[in-house]
Chain A
Amino acid sequence: GDSVTQMEGPVTLSEEAFLTINCTYTATGYPSLFWYVQYPGEGLQLLLKATKADDKGSNKGFEATYRKETTSFHLEKGSVQVSDSAVYFCALVPGSARQLTFGSGTQLTVLP
């Protein structure tokens, strides 16, 4: 079945460090891929998305590139801030499905 695998957390970084959170997927057809972010005490918010191979999604300094050959959608940011501390979820919508399938989430803590 369709699934998303994220790197295990928690991840702790110092401010201005480089961030990578790995995400790989298994899906039939050509899924759309997403990163959602959950700030403390809040619901999930869409961070960025990519709908076809080689697309790059970007928002708030975060980027992720849809890599069909490696079935990956890794999240990156060049310089994290304390305010980026949150749980990050990789997700997909398979070609024919009508729901989001989420990864297990990665807790990021950025220290000043």
Chain B
Amino acid sequence: DTAVSQTPKYLVTQMGNDKSIKCEQNLGHDTMYWYKQDSKKFLKIMFSYNNKELIINETVPNRFSPKSPDKAHLNLHINSLELGDSAVYFCASSQQPIGRGNTEAFFGQGTRLTVV
């Protein structure tokens, strides 16, 4: 069984569209994350939820909105897609918020978003 699964794996869409990426973890973790990986492989955190509560909200356009219906799911909705949104988006989870006592995050396979 896949621990952290994302759908879809690939997403090609036109500028201006609205799209969602879904993420589910079956590890029983309390905390989930969205990361964006750009074309140079640089990873940057976007959001984090702990027990359905938003705890990290980095500087991203408000066109990006995370939603956590329960602690096993963290979806990412993107409005009015732009060319610069093209990237690989990774979902991840950890037992608790990452800190000195808990330091391992488990990542999904990524969603490659291409905006044309």
The contact size tier of chain B is: 20 to 34
CB-CB nearest in chain A for B48: A99
Indicate if the CB atoms of B90 and A46 lie closer than 8 Å: no
In the complex, chain B residues whose CB is within 8 Å of the CB of A28: none
In the assembled complex, the Cα of A93 lies from the Cα of B31 at a distance in Å of: 15
Within 8 A of A (CB), among B9-60: 33, 40-45, 48, 55-56
Q: Is A100 an interface residue (CB 8 A)?
A: yes
Indicate if the CB atoms of B98 and A98 lie closer than 8 Å: yes
CB-CB nearest in chain A for B96: A98
In the complex, chain A residues whose CB is within 8 Å of the CB of B43: 44, 89, 102, 105
In the assembled complex, the Cα of A99 lies from the Cα of B45 at a distance in Å of: 8
Q: Is A69 an interface residue (CB 8 A)?
A: no
In the complex, chain B residues whose CB is within 8 Å of the CB of A98: 48, 55-56, 97-99
The distance from the CB of B53 to the nearest CB of chain A, in whole angstroms, is 12
In the complex, chain B residues whose CB is within 8 Å of the CB of A72: none
The distance from the CB of A92 to the nearest CB of chain B, in whole angstroms, is 10
Q: Is A97 an interface residue (CB 8 A)?
A: yes
Indicate if the CB atoms of A105 and B42 lie closer than 8 Å: yes
CB-CB nearest in chain B for A30: B100
Indicate if the CB atoms of A43 and B109 lie closer than 8 Å: yes
Indicate if the CB atoms of A46 and B109 lie closer than 8 Å: no
What is the number of contacts between chain A and chain B, taking CB atoms within 8 Å? 61
In the complex, chain B residues whose CB is within 8 Å of the CB of A44: 43, 90, 92, 105, 107
Indicate if the CB atoms of A102 and B42 lie closer than 8 Å: yes
Q: Is B72 an interface residue (CB 8 A)?
A: no
CB-CB nearest in chain B for A45: B107
In the assembled complex, the Cα of A96 lies from the Cα of B98 at a distance in Å of: 10
Indicate if the CB atoms of A34 and B97 lie closer than 8 Å: no
In the assembled complex, the Cα of A15 lies from the Cα of B71 at a distance in Å of: 43
0/1 per residue, A3-45, Cβ < 8 Å to B?
A: 0000000000000000000000000000010100000011111
- Which residues does B use to contact A, with CB under 8 Å? 4, 33, 40-45, 48, 55-56, 90, 92, 97-100, 103-110
- Which residues does A use to contact B, with CB under 8 Å? 32, 34, 41-46, 49, 51, 87, 89, 93, 95-100, 102, 104-105, 107
